[in-house]
Amino acid sequence: MIFPKRRTFKQSYNFFVALPLSVILLCSGHAYALEAYQATYTASLKSSINISGTLKRSLSKSANNQWFFEDDISAFLASIKESSLLSIKDGTVVPHQYHYLRKVIGKKKKNDISFDWTKNQALSRDKSIIALKSKTQDPLSYQLQLQLDLQKGKRGRFSYPYTKKNRIDELNFVEVGTEFVNTPFGKIKSIKLKLERKNNAKRETFIWFSIKHNFIISQLKQTESDGKSYSIQLEKLTQ
């Protein structure tokens, strides 16, 4: 879901749902708190045909001191809903329940992951048991952890174990620098990160995080070797 190997619209569209847009507020000392918000992004795919869509993301307070992190993407003949129920412990995002549903021209794809941290294992939709590493994230929650780490002042390199299908994989990012991103409400100074891939990778993925807006994503771009590309850009933010 996160980084497609092929260049179909469904896979590219699916990947960018997962890329990250939460707002995390750094409090005094070592106490951290999340802030509820809603964000809207414009999304565009440039290929043999150009397709535009809208990504809506929200973070809201749930019961038992937990948070509900949700994506809703819509485009022509396609929709994706993705969510993560999570909590924060000592500055670390702890996922509890992950849900994913994609509909494309009447066809559905689902994925559910339930986390049991008392046993350090997760259960997938097909009942496969996944042995969890310390601080393992789900395919959506790692984005909150990345932004929280940026707010805490972490820079340079970032690495996160996360659940991919029925196994644990690793996401690695490296800081590129600071740039300004053009948005409908002006230029936003943002920290630019690059997703590290293998040496022979044919795709490049960059993510910009707004310094002014608690390090939510201001822009994301993925480019293929054949010139095809996908991008999202922050359009509206409500806190």
How far is 64 from 86, CA to CA, in rounded Å?
Answer: 10
Q: Which residue has the higher pLDDT, 76 or 148?
A: 148
Q: Which tens digit of pLDDT belongs to each residue from 187-203?
A: 999 999 999 987 777 88
CA atoms within 13 A on the CB side of 89: 8
Nearest to 24 by CA among 56, 63, 69: 69
User: Is the per-residue pLDDT at 80 higher than 70?
Assistant: yes
86 domain-assigned: yes
Total domains present in the chain: 1
Residue type, 58: S
pLDDT on residue 27? 33
pLDDT on residue 43? 85
How far is 206 from 223, CA to CA, in rounded Å?
Answer: 9
Give 15-41 as a 3 state SS string. Answer: HHHHCCCCCEEECCCCCEEECCEEEEE
2 domain-assigned: no
Residue type, 25: L
165 domain-assigned: yes
How far is 162 from 133, CA to CA, in rounded Å?
Answer: 9
| pTM reported for the whole predicted model | 0.80
Across the range 21-25, mean pLDDT stands at 35
211 domain-assigned: yes
Q: Which tens digit of pLDDT belongs to each residue from 109-163?
A: 899 999 999 999 999 999 999 999 999 999 999 989 998 999 999 999 999 999 9
1 domain-assigned: no
pLDDT on residue 227? 80
| Window from 41-55, 100-114, 181-195 with minimum mean pLDDT | 41-55
pLDDT on residue 88? 94
3 domain-assigned: no
Across the range 164-172, mean pLDDT stands at 91
Helix (H, G, I), strand (E, B) or coil at 16: helix
Start-to-end CA distance of the chain, whole Å, equals: 28
Instruction: State the residue range of the domain holding 216.
Output: 9-238
164 domain-assigned: yes
User: Is the per-residue pLDDT at 237 higher than 60?
Assistant: yes
4 domain-assigned: no
